[in-house]
Structure formats: C-alpha cells, structure tokens
Structure 1
C-alpha cells in the first residue's frame, strides 16, 4: 500500500512515465522529433520548441503547485492575470499609445510594475481565500471573469505593440547564446523556489497547512498567512509568465495571452503526482507535468487536432489522473492485489 501511494500520489514515477509515453508517441508520429539543428547560431528542433513553448506553463505550474498544496484549491485566474500584467507593461512602455513603435519608458520599469500588479492580483485572491474563507474556485473566479476586461480597459480594446529589440529578449534569444531566454528564466524560477522550500521551513509549513489547517493553527502556525503567501507567489509567477508571453509576440493581446492556461497549469500539477486535495507536493513533478502537457499539445497538433478541441482532450486527461489519485481507486487496486495474493496462497496450499 505504501509503495502504491508513492507511485500514484506524490512520487515521480507516474509523471516520468506519462512524459516518456508522450515522447514515444511523438517519435512514432514524427521520427525527426529529437533532431536538433543550428541556424544562425540558434538551436532549432521539435524538442527545443517543446522546451521553449512550455516555459510560461512551467512557471505557472510552480505557483499553482503551492496554491494547491496549501489550500487544496486552485487559482483559475492565472491566465487572466498574465493578460493584465502584459497589458500594463506594454501600456507603460508605449506611453499610453495603443499601437506604437515607440519606446518612451525603460523596460525594467514596465516589467517591475507588471510583476507588482501580478503580486497584487495574487494578494487579492489570497485575501478572499485565507481571510474571507471563500472557496478558492469561487474566489479566483472573480479575476478569471474580470481580468481580461481589466486588460481590455488598459489597452482600450486594442493590441498594444512594442516593436523594440530589447523588448523581444525575454521571449526570444540573447545574441551569442543558442538557447531561448525563456529557458534560463524557468531555471532561475524553479531553482529559487526549490531552494526556498527546501532550505527553509516554509515548504514544511505549506504541507502542514494543506494536510490539516486547523491542526496547524493549534501548533502555532499562521495558516491564513501561509495560504495568503502562496496565492501572492502564484500571482508573481503569473506576472512573470505574462511578460514572457507578451515578449514573444512583441505586444499585449488581452484576448489571447494566457488563454486557457489555467487548465494547463492545473493539469500539470495533477500530472506531477501532486494531490489536488492539498498537502505534500513536488515542484519537480509539476515541472515534468508541464513539459508533458506541451509535448501532448505538440502531439495533438501533429494529429490535426484544432486549437478549439485541445481543452476537451486535456480535460479527459485531468479526469483520468484525478481518478488514479482518488482514495476509491486506491481501495480498488489494493483489494485486487489482496485477492491475487490470497489466490496464490490458496493455490500453493492446494
């Protein structure tokens, strides 16, 4: 039973297995999937594209993992927060002009304000969940609904263009370095998150609150404050992801930046072997889950599945993964295992 819980719960066996299966399907569908070429000093290939395109999702999955671990709920507003962050950054850099080639303000100022806005959005969600005791799905539904409207107000319903080379660096390539900049951003975020959670007591506190918030309060932990911090961190991750997505297209597209990425982030957490009811978690598992999602997306596109149909297939995967992690499924597998053991014992006696 312990071994089974480790596999289906928060171990890395299931995430790695899913990732390998998706890669095998890609290799069968596209034999040149692992081929890498260099053009103009930049690496190209299917696998490079998967790693690059998954960057925003990986960062969102890191933040979502902590939210799920601490509150047993999800933040469905991360896609909308990405849109708001991108809109406010481009609005500042364009000096309020919705369609522009100008660059009137320093990039660092716009990026800093965008990240702060992301944190504020996360704090708002954390306040509703931790302080007001509103169910996470309902609390984050507010920004999920209003976030893109706010982004539309900022950009006045138009796409704000920033056609300046320095703005393209975060979502593009640094000259002389063959790998996309987004990969290095992901490494920094994941490493820092792991260091903070492993080298301090915060990781243990998050697990304790997620397992039993009431018992954590009894032993002196400030459960509400810990949950609040995880939502604020999730907002920070959404702000960074929004900047990366905006940098890819050199603009703020309020309608499309971060669209449906909340489902992908939740799915990445589930595929990462994390319990969606809270408690123990694995950042590495969520990272593997995010890359699995992107590889799955690449596979579905190769199979001529349209973008409108993708969420349906991903939702089916969510149902399967959640079912595999459920207590009832655990009981069924354990019962089957016990019956097989007893059958073998009776056969030996006979």
Structure 2
C-alpha cells in the first residue's frame, strides 16, 4: 500500500509544481479578517465535497460494492433543505430532514445489495436514475434560492479555514478512528475479501454492507448541503452531477482495489486532492473546461498503470537484482 501511495503523491506534487510555474503566487497565503485565503485553500475548499463522498465510497468499495447514486443523493439533500427553508422552515431542521432522508436512501441501497442480492452497480443505478427525478419533483423543476446565514455557514462560512474543509477533515479523522482503532475496519475488509467465508466465521456481513451504504449516503448528503450552501441555492439538475465519478476515481487513484478488501483512507485523501488539483490546473493553464474529463482520464490511466500489480512486480524484481 505504501508503494501505491507513492504514485498519487508524485502526481499531486507534479500538478502543484505545474501550477506554481503557471502562477508564481499559487502557494501564497494571506490572512484577512481572521480568515485564511489563497489558491491552496481554494483547492481544499472545492475538493471538500469530493473528499466526503470518496470517504463513503472507499468503505463501499472495500466491501466489493459500488455506489453510483451519491450524485443524486447530493441533489436530493440540497433540494430538500432549500425547499424547506424557502417554505419558512429553519435551516437546522431542513438539514436534519435532508440527512434523515439520505440515511433512508442508504438503507434502500443496502437492502437491495445485501438482502435481495442485486449487483451493487445495478442496485445503485436505480437510485442514480430516479434520485435526480425525485430532486426535480421536490423543487418542482425550479432552482430554489435561499437567504439563510446559518445555512450559508456550511459551504461558505469561515473558522480561520473554510468550514467545509473543517467538516471534511473531521469526517476523515472520525472515519479513520472508527475503522482503524476498532474491529470495524477489519470486518469491512473481510467482507470484501470473501463475504461467504466471513459469514461462516460469524461476521454479520449483511449488517456491515448496510452500514457502509448508509454511511456513503450520509457523506453524500453532507456534501450536498455544502454544495447548495455555497451558492445559496438548490439546482436539482446540476448539483453533484458526475461527482460519483470523481469519488470513484479518487478512491482508485488512492490505491484501493475495486475488487474489495484492503483500503486506504490516506490514499483516498491524496486521490481527492489529485482530482481537485487537476481541475484547478486545467483552469490555471487556460485549457478549455470542456476537455477537463479528457485530462482527468489521462492522469487516472497513468496513475492506475503505475499502480498495476504487474508493474509492481517488475519494480520488485529490479530492486532484488540491484540488491
């Protein structure tokens, strides 16, 4: 895993260096009114929703699953909250209502996968397709704008650093603490390696799978609150569009195998930073935004090839010969 982390780390360093060459003030930071500003801060803030969703996706993939519905859940969370606020409700109650609905959606995905035995890509494709339609129904096809200072704090607030960064880092720390300091992480990996053997060993694989899908949906819900809060509006048609792809790419770049089993939260963090820094780099060097996906594909293919087991064996043989 340490070797796999090397390549995303080098890719991130190369992207940062390219930004520095294109913009010599890229690493500059300034403190204004007790708030820290700068291009690096912008990268972290814009990448916070992707990191949150990638955290949930990491645990889902570790169980040999996938969740394509997180982008739709992002849209639903924003739609429910903004519609509730626009209707005269409070920001806190709106956010709690949205997160409760996200948990129910996670339970639905987990039910389809763990109880009915539907393939994860098909089970979550159902909500990916229907979820955005649900968000459109909630907003009645309109962009719902709100003006609520408490809600704005989630995506645009500052506590020295942007609140969205603090939330995503807190979620990362909490996830690492729970999965690496308890048996939960080992149980997740065992389910991903061999679900049947885990069941025979007494592991409640169905409960584990349900748990990771609910967690992924909650992460997507919080990310949805960040995105809608940042613009003080809910756009059911565009909020979170294709963010599930960025989350999956972040997990894969971080070295977690889509075949399940061992995973790396540190790798996921690096992967999310690579994805967001790449997007920033494309804008910085003046590349047209419509070709962003092409550049993402090139970087992802390069990093994944460098992480490939066959290439790792070649490096290992060369090290053995050199020794």
Against the structure 1 CA distance between its residues 323 and 127, is the aligned structure 2 distance closer, same or farther, given a 3 Å change threshold? farther
Shift, 1:19, TM fit = 1.6
Q: For 1:117, which of 90, 101, 105 is the aligned residue?
A: 101
Q: What is aligned with 2:71?
A: 79
TM-score, scaled to structure 2: 0.93
Structure with bigger gyration radius: 1
User: In the alignment, does 2:286 pair up with 1:293?
Assistant: no
Alignment of 1:324-339 (within 5 A): 324-331=306-313, 333=315, 337=318
Q: What is aligned with 2:129?
A: 145
Q: For 2:204, which of 196, 200, 222 is the aligned residue?
A: 222
The runs of 5 or more residues in structure 1 that have no matched partner are 96-103, 346-350
Conserved 8 A contact 2:7-2:303: no
Q: What is aligned with 2:260?
A: 278
User: In the alignment, does 2:191 pair up with 1:195?
Assistant: no
What's the Cα RMSD here? 2.0
Q: Quote the Cα distance in structure 1 between the aligned partners of 2:232 and 2:38.
A: 23
Q: Quote the Cα distance in structure 1 between the aligned partners of 2:118 and 2:39.
A: 43
Q: What is aligned with 2:155?
A: 171
Shift, 1:6, TM fit = 4.3
Conserved 8 A contact 1:57-1:264: yes
Shift, 1:158, TM fit = 0.2
Q: Give CA-to-partner distance per residue, 1:141-197, whole Å, 9 cap, x none.
A: 1121121111111000001111122221111124xx332111111122111111111
User: In the alignment, does 2:316 pair up with 1:320?
Assistant: no
Q: Per the alignment, in what secondary structure is the counterpart of residue 184 of structure 1? A: helix
Shift, 1:241, TM fit = 0.3
The runs of 5 or more residues in structure 2 that have no matched partner are none
Q: Quote the Cα distance in structure 2 between the aligned partners of 1:266 and 1:206.
A: 18
Q: What is aligned with 2:89?
A: 105
Q: For 2:83, which of 87, 91, 96 is the aligned residue?
A: 91
Conserved 8 A contact 1:275-1:325: no
Q: Per the alignment, in what secondary structure is the counterpart of residue 36 of structure 2? A: strand
Q: Quote the Cα distance in structure 2 between the aligned partners of 1:122 and 1:85.
A: 13
Alignment of 1:148-159 (within 5 A): 148-159=132-143
User: In the alignment, does 2:226 pair up with 1:238?
Assistant: no
User: In the alignment, does 2:41 pair up with 1:45?
Assistant: no
Conserved 8 A contact 1:83-1:252: yes
Q: Quote the Cα distance in structure 1 between the aligned partners of 2:238 and 2:289.
A: 12
Against the structure 1 CA distance between its residues 319 and 139, is the aligned structure 2 distance closer, same or farther, given a 3 Å change threshold? farther
Q: Per the alignment, in what secondary structure is the counterpart of residue 256 of structure 2? A: coil
Q: Quote the Cα distance in structure 1 between the aligned partners of 2:174 and 2:78.
A: 23
Q: Quote the Cα distance in structure 1 between the aligned partners of 2:274 and 2:103.
A: 27
Shift, 1:310, TM fit = 1.5
Shift, 1:287, TM fit = 1.1
Q: Which structure has more helix as a fraction of its residues?
A: 2
Q: Per the alignment, in what secondary structure is the counterpart of residue 31 of structure 1? A: coil
Q: What is aligned with 2:19?
A: 26
User: In the alignment, does 2:287 pair up with 1:305?
Assistant: yes
Q: What is aligned with 2:57?
A: 64
Conserved 8 A contact 1:14-1:273: no
Q: For 2:234, which of 220, 236, 252 is the aligned residue?
A: 252
Conserved 8 A contact 1:171-1:248: yes
Conserved 8 A contact 2:255-2:264: yes
Conserved 8 A contact 2:7-2:307: no
Shift, 1:17, TM fit = 1.9
Q: Quote the Cα distance in structure 2 between the aligned partners of 1:133 and 1:23.
A: 44
Shift, 1:331, TM fit = 4.8
Q: What is aligned with 1:7?
A: 3
Conserved 8 A contact 1:34-1:45: yes
Shift, 1:134, TM fit = 1.8
